[in-house]
Chains A and B, each alone.
Chain A
Amino acid sequence: DAGVIQSPRHEVTEMGQEVTLRCKPISGHNSLFWYRQTMMRGLELLIYFNNNVPIDDSGMPEDRFSAKMPNASFSTLKIQPSEPRDSAVYFCASSPFPSTGNEQFFGPGTRLTVL
């Protein structure tokens, strides 16, 4: 299995530009999670989906952030417009439906730098 795939691995953009991060979960996994990691805030849960449906987006920092999961094999996290404080590593994770103590499997992350 290829594991969770994220693209791009690195993104450098200028303030005000739109940024789209992509994630392909492990085949057969029902749940998908987006996290953000910074030195100041640590690992933050942004949003997660069960069976392609957003369950909890209370961690999404602002309306500038949006996430979609149009099908079981693809999700996007979009920031529009981007700001320097959005600079972070964004992780996607997937798991089988988390009802029986299943662990989450993390992708390698996307390092976003907003200038």
Chain B
Amino acid sequence: AQSVAQPEDQVNVAEGNPLTVKCTYSVSGNPYLFWYVQYPNRGLQFLLKYITGDNLVKGSYGFEAEFNKSQTSFHLKKPSALVSDSALYFCAVRDRGQAGTALIFGKGTTLS
């Protein structure tokens, strides 16, 4: 079964400091991995995804994420946080062998 874990309900960081939002996953095969952001009273917005190739993926708004197969992790990072980055962040996974299936989302991490 596929699953995603976001171990932190909330992450607090000072503006200008680097931020990390953690995500680990479990799939039977190889994963497609995604990060989404949700601002208050809005829908989820796609940030970035890992499909194949370079383990470091760059996305919108200066965010990046690193795929680590041995640790089954896909942590979201940003070198210098902004107040406007405060939002709810979701990690999601799909097993490559499960074509045609929905993304499985984590419970979300609030970044403040």
Using a CB–CB cutoff of 8 Å, the interface residues on chain A facing chain B are 4, 31, 33, 42-43, 45, 48, 50, 55-56, 91, 93, 97-101, 103-109
Give A69 Cβ to nearest chain B Cβ, in Å. Answer: 14
Counting CB contacts under 8 A, is B51 at the interface? Answer: yes
Distance between Cα atoms of A99 and B94 in the complex (Å): 10
Distance between Cα atoms of A37 and B45 in the complex (Å): 15
Distance between Cα atoms of A98 and B42 in the complex (Å): 23
Question: In this complex, what residue of B is CB-closest to A111?
Answer: B41
Is B49 a contact partner of A107 (Cβ separation < 8 A)? no
Q: Which size class do B's interface residues fall under?
A: 20 to 34
Which residue in B32, B96, B100, B108 is a CB contact (below 8 Å) of A43? B108
In the complex, chain A residues whose CB is within 8 Å of the CB of B36: 106
Counting CB contacts under 8 A, is B34 at the interface? Answer: yes
Counting CB contacts under 8 A, is B1 at the interface? Answer: no
Distance between Cα atoms of A97 and B102 in the complex (Å): 10
